[in-house]
Structure 1
Amino acid sequence: MPVRSQVRPGSPSDIPLPVRFRVIQTPYYVITTDLPPEEAQEAALRMTRMAEEYAERTKGFSGRVTKRLPFYLFQDIRDYNTYGGPVGSAGVFQIQGNDRRLLAFAGEATNPRRWEVIQHEGFHQFADAAIGRLPPWIDEGLAEYFGEAIWTGDGFVTGAIPPERLKRLRARMTEGRLLAVRDMMQLQPDQWNFMISPNNYHQAWSMTQFLAHGDNGKYQAGFNNFMRAVNRKVPWEKAWVDTFGATDGFEPKWSGWYAKLPDDPTAELYTRATLSTIASFVARAHAERRGYRTLEDLAAAMKVGEFKPTGENWLPYRLLEEAVVRSRRDATTFSIEPARVKSDPPAVVAVRPDGTRLVATSPARFAVPVKVTITATSGAVAVRPVPSIAPPTANPGTPPAFNPPANAPGLPPATPARPPEPPKVAVAPPDASARPPMTPPVLVRPEAPAGVGPNLPAAGGPIQVAAGVSPGREKAVEFVAANNVFGPDHDVVAKVIKASAEVAKTGSNLRVTLGPKMMKSGRLTDVIVLEERCFVIEYTPQQRARIDIGDKTVMTMRFGMPPWTRTLQTVDQVTTLFTPMPLSADEPLKWKTKIDRSDAPDERPYATRVRYLLANGNSFENTAIYKSAPKAGAILSYQSHKMPKLEGPEPILAFVDVVHPATETDKIEILSNTMAFVLDVAVQPEGDPAAPAKPVE
């Protein structure tokens, strides 16, 4: 969901960007970046084509974008975080009053995964400007839909269903881990942010994908009408029933469609995307009077600089590399064949495993963007030619037209979602005064599930957290602690935040009850016991958090964790038990954190980060052990940490990020010899430049 944030009182409101940043005016964006020229050029080109794709696919229900959208693209993760990018994220769309901006971290070279995030967050920005506020499942579902879009150099191919994502979706359906459709549709933005989960993103994507392509495009016109009604402020429940009927009838159709799909339902769509990319490069080579017999020859020529499109014809070599890799995803063969007319660009041919022959051609008169047409033949029978970026809607895996039926009753004509008329791309001189200032916003913590705060520590006993309680219902969280913390003579210092919250001490137990009023206001409270002190954390509706000792606020915590990082925080994903576990008579008690990563976003090896909150001068040892294959029982990593002694009023608290290396196992157990508070647990793709910072030594 878009991040809505405010500047804290006393925070600097104007922080100019360093001199190295420059401003690029594109047709639809104002890009502020410090990337090298070629990387910045790729960003400008991609964002231009992406904006056109957003507009084309939503033209049946969106309005007009009247000004260029701000996009800040950072090379250094520290700059990205300084100017508002949530820690651990790669991109975010932020709303601050009237300021709406897209921020992203690119690193040294923007990789495909980064662009998935930018395309996702970019849709939130576009929707905010052209459509208006959407229900979370639609907003996130369409953002995921565009995040999966494949760039061809001259356009995008949308509607792809990655096989690994389909596999995960089916598993979650089978295991009953998805919400009922009606419950998904009723989620409000704050609820979505609190209970943020990979399951919700998979489900929202699958629902919008089904409405766009399910049953041979049967629901496209209805989806378009539904979206237009929502855009006209018709309550979504009424708009849905008027269009599709009861949600209970929709659910079996949605789940049944995915159950019947082949394992790689959009394989031909991936082939079309690859063909379009290769044909775009072949057309550019032909325009420069260069010819190549094979795809390998073309790639080799670009790699050594023998052929390099320039000016408005430019495309990055990395894009061709990605197409070459994608060409090997199945047994499809690709070749370059001479055109029938010598003056025409060569054709690019793909022969699919089922014998379907796809031929990509481009116009004899070269122009950018290149209009590639793909003709499919099976045996001697020709199938009607279609543009590669818009395959026929009869194929369940092809892009949606998002067009309403003619003369739809009760609906006014749609205004095309066209951004303003484009001027030519121009690079502004490095004038510091010309650069817009940026305001670092307060980061938010969207990953905490509704009704459940972070896992809370207590010495000498387990923590019991009641789960599955909806907002508006009474919520009780119980802590069981040993006498070394809550001794019979030790007074518990706790602040009652509101009358609807009760804090009581009975023997060695502390109980916090959150009443209906507090739950309805979106507030959550947690209690931390650290060094015989009781800390009460209040989560405000803005999802900031503060720690109080008695009636004194000692620090304010700010959090940020975007969807793509998939923080594993829900009760069924991460179980944190601070149960004393003496390994031997000579060893101190250990606190144990069990982490189940089976719900990670994809199948790649993931590093695991555990964030601790420690008191001033504390030290601790931390060992991670595999709990499942491939190395059950073996030590994954051992780390020792000591917080430096800092001057100031006691206690001084600080964060420590412990990053354990990437592993293919889905379960690990972390043992710590400290009563540290596990703030959250996150995973990061192996080798990702946006991995959390190194732990404090």
Structure 2
Amino acid sequence: MRWRPCPAVVAAWLLVLLTLALPGGSVLAQPATPLQVYRSAHYRVFTDLSRAEAEGYGRHMDLVHRSYERFLRRLRGDAGAPQALYLLKDRASYLRTLAFFGIDGSASGGMFFYGPRGSGLATWVGDRPRGEVLRTLQHEGFHQFARLKAGDGLPIWVNEGLAEYFGDAVLVEGGVRHGIVDADRLQRLRTARDAGATLPLAVLLGLDPERWRLNLTSGSPRGPLQYDQAWSAVQFLIHGDPRVEEAFSDYLVALSEGVPHEEAFPSAFGSDPRPMQAAYLRYLAALRPDPFGEALADLRFLAEGVRFLRDRDGRVPGDMGGLEAALRASRFRVTTRSHGAERAVSALDPGNYRYLGEDGRTHRFVLGPAAAPGRPPEIRADALRPPARIEWVPDGRGGLVPELAFE
């Protein structure tokens, strides 16, 4: 990775264009704030984070980018040129950067944007849970990649459904594991299904971008639900049956070649929607949460709890029982926001301290010794395959951040 400073700051709101050519003849632009820029394998990263922290995110997104490439390999668009990634320290820097491009980002946690003044993938780190930042990058990064491979040809349901699918993916031993089924998402879907609130597939697949946007901005429960249901449709099309997955791939190729959804979908799946609707409902009824993904989510939650106690008290209990007691007494919770919905994970939930191992039994997470003096203890899930742990690494700003690692 090559690292160099951008042009010096002339004034806080002085803006300058970096004339870096992008596909299609557009230009890459950035505000003249004290950002650094470096080139990873697939991204040109503009950031006010430390070099070490920014490069860590760059390496993560390079791996995710390769998984986009493998999934959309049949599409003919060119996504080879490095794309812009704006990775900001705080929300104020994020909003200023988007404002330069004429975008109001106040209601967002991250986005892929494009327009006459440039394009890019943008989010901020701040004090957000690390898992939320990574999920945002993976979700919005798919939108960025898909536009290069398919232009504007993807209908809103498949664009958002695939972005959710990739947003849920986890990096394991240098690879990307897809198809993670989140227990909370699955419960929301089943609750909505039982209440008659879900849309039939034929209706979901026919939503236009304006209706999707109105559902999201109106405050209706249908706004967040449409993301969950789009994810479930994509999950079904990829994992429900190998023949369905092949048809889905044919459908995406047709869309990328300019065939409208109204022609591409019946060509790939047949003109009668009823068999697919029945198969989808059977798949949803049989779907189960992914134990591995759930365990990793719990590890991240516990890491946020360790960081909370360390920042508050300067110390952390020496074992998992003490950590659970301290977090419960503090009524600790981690809140994330996505697609207009706010979701909280509470320390009062006993399931956050246990996980299902490869042996089919329930195990407690283990709070192990610190890897180095001055660092918090590691958190381990030794019964997973591969075994997983949270380790603490310097962020380059004088702090420590939790990283998932595997043995």
How far residue 62 of structure 1 moved from its aligned partner, in angstroms, is 5.1
Q: Whole-Å Cα distance in 1 between the matches of residues 199 and 77 of structure 2?
A: 31
2:342 counterpart residue number:
none
1:89 counterpart residue number:
108
Q: Is the 8 A contact 1:157 1:273 kept in 2?
A: no
Question: Quick check: 1:267 aligned with 2:275?
Answer: no
Q: Residue type of the partner of 2:169?
A: A
Q: Whole-Å Cα distance in 2 between the matches of residues 272 and 74 of structure 1?
A: 25
Question: Quick check: 1:254 aligned with 2:280?
Answer: yes
Question: Quick check: 1:139 aligned with 2:159?
Answer: yes
1:212 counterpart residue number:
238
How far residue 152 of structure 1 moved from its aligned partner, in angstroms, is 2.5
Match of 2:63 among 49, 70, 81: 49
Structure 1: any 5+ residue segments left out of the alignment? 1-10, 275-295, 297-325, 333-349, 355-375, 378-386, 389-697
1:39 counterpart residue number:
53
How far residue 230 of structure 1 moved from its aligned partner, in angstroms, is 1.3
Question: Quick check: 1:236 aligned with 2:225?
Answer: no
How far residue 97 of structure 1 moved from its aligned partner, in angstroms, is 2.6
Question: Quick check: 1:201 aligned with 2:220?
Answer: no
Rg (Cα) greater in structure: 1
How far residue 155 of structure 1 moved from its aligned partner, in angstroms, is 2.1
Q: Whole-Å Cα distance in 1 between the matches of residues 78 and 32 of structure 2?
A: 33
Question: Quick check: 1:107 aligned with 2:115?
Answer: no
Matched residue of 1:71: which SS? strand
Question: Quick check: 1:28 aligned with 2:42?
Answer: yes
How far residue 192 of structure 1 moved from its aligned partner, in angstroms, is 1.6
Structure 2: any 5+ residue segments left out of the alignment? 1-12, 18-29, 99-103, 217-222, 299-319, 321-350, 363-383, 388-407
Q: Is the 8 A contact 1:141 1:207 kept in 2?
A: yes
How far residue 231 of structure 1 moved from its aligned partner, in angstroms, is 1.3
RCO higher in structure (CA 8 A, sep ≥6)? 1
Q: Whole-Å Cα distance in 2 between the matches of residues 260 and 94 of structure 1?
A: 37
Matched residue of 1:24: which SS? strand
Question: Quick check: 1:183 aligned with 2:191?
Answer: no
Decide whether aligned partners of structure 1 residues 98 and 87 sit closer, same or farther in structure 2, where only a CA change above 3 A counts: closer
How far residue 109 of structure 1 moved from its aligned partner, in angstroms, is 6.6
Q: Is the 8 A contact 2:112 2:121 kept in 1?
A: yes
Q: Residue type of the partner of 1:114?
A: V
- Per-residue Cα deviation, 1:306-352 (whole angstroms, up to 9, x for no partner): xxxxxxxxxxxxxxxxxxxx9965241xxxxxxxxxxxxxxxxx533
Q: Is the 8 A contact 1:230 1:236 kept in 2?
A: yes
Question: Quick check: 1:330 aligned with 2:350?
Answer: no
- Per-residue Cα deviation, 1:483-534 (whole angstroms, up to 9, x for no partner): xxxxxxxxxxxxxxxxxxxxxxxxxxxxxxxxxxxxxxxxxxxxxxxxxxxx
Match of 2:142 among 116, 123, 127: 123
1:151 counterpart residue number:
171
Q: Is the 8 A contact 2:14 2:32 kept in 1?
A: no
Q: Is the 8 A contact 1:150 1:273 kept in 2?
A: no
Q: Is the 8 A contact 2:182 2:293 kept in 1?
A: no
1:174 counterpart residue number:
194
Q: Residue type of the partner of 1:42?
A: G
How far residue 191 of structure 1 moved from its aligned partner, in angstroms, is 2.3
Q: Is the 8 A contact 1:142 1:205 kept in 2?
A: yes
Q: Whole-Å Cα distance in 1 between the matches of residues 275 and 199 of structure 2?
A: 15
How far residue 205 of structure 1 moved from its aligned partner, in angstroms, is 0.6
Q: Is the 8 A contact 1:90 1:106 kept in 2?
A: no
Q: Whole-Å Cα distance in 2 between the matches of residues 110 and 73 of structure 1?
A: 15
How far residue 99 of structure 1 moved from its aligned partner, in angstroms, is 2.3
Decide whether aligned partners of structure 1 residues 327 and 173 sit closer, same or farther in structure 2, where only a CA change above 3 A counts: closer
How far residue 353 of structure 1 moved from its aligned partner, in angstroms, is 2.6
Q: Is the 8 A contact 1:212 1:220 kept in 2?
A: yes
1:353 counterpart residue number:
361
Q: Residue type of the partner of 2:55?
A: Q
Task: State the TM-score, normalized to the length of structure 2.
Answer: 0.62
Q: Is the 8 A contact 1:120 1:143 kept in 2?
A: yes
Decide whether aligned partners of structure 1 residues 48 and 94 sit closer, same or farther in structure 2, where only a CA change above 3 A counts: same
- Per-residue Cα deviation, 1:566-598 (whole angstroms, up to 9, x for no partner): xxxxxxxxxxxxxxxxxxxxxxxxxxxxxxxxx
* 1:653-668 correspondence to structure 2 within 5 Å: none
2:82 counterpart residue number:
68
- In terms of fraction of residues, the more helix-rich structure is 2
Q: Is the 8 A contact 2:164 2:231 kept in 1?
A: yes
Q: Residue type of the partner of 1:139?
A: N
2:72 counterpart residue number:
58
Task: State the TM-score, normalized to the length of structure 1.
Answer: 0.37
Q: Whole-Å Cα distance in 2 between the matches of residues 107 and 63 of structure 1?
A: 34
Q: Whole-Å Cα distance in 1 between the matches of residues 248 and 354 of structure 2?
A: 32
How far residue 156 of structure 1 moved from its aligned partner, in angstroms, is 1.5
How far residue 108 of structure 1 moved from its aligned partner, in angstroms, is 4.9
Relative to structure 2, which stretch is displaced further, 95-104 or 132-141? Answer: 95-104
Q: Is the 8 A contact 2:182 2:294 kept in 1?
A: no
Matched residue of 1:234: which SS? coil
Q: Whole-Å Cα distance in 2 between the matches of residues 92 and 268 of structure 1?
A: 28
Q: Residue type of the partner of 1:191?
A: R
Q: Is the 8 A contact 1:24 1:44 kept in 2?
A: no
How far residue 18 of structure 1 moved from its aligned partner, in angstroms, is 4.9
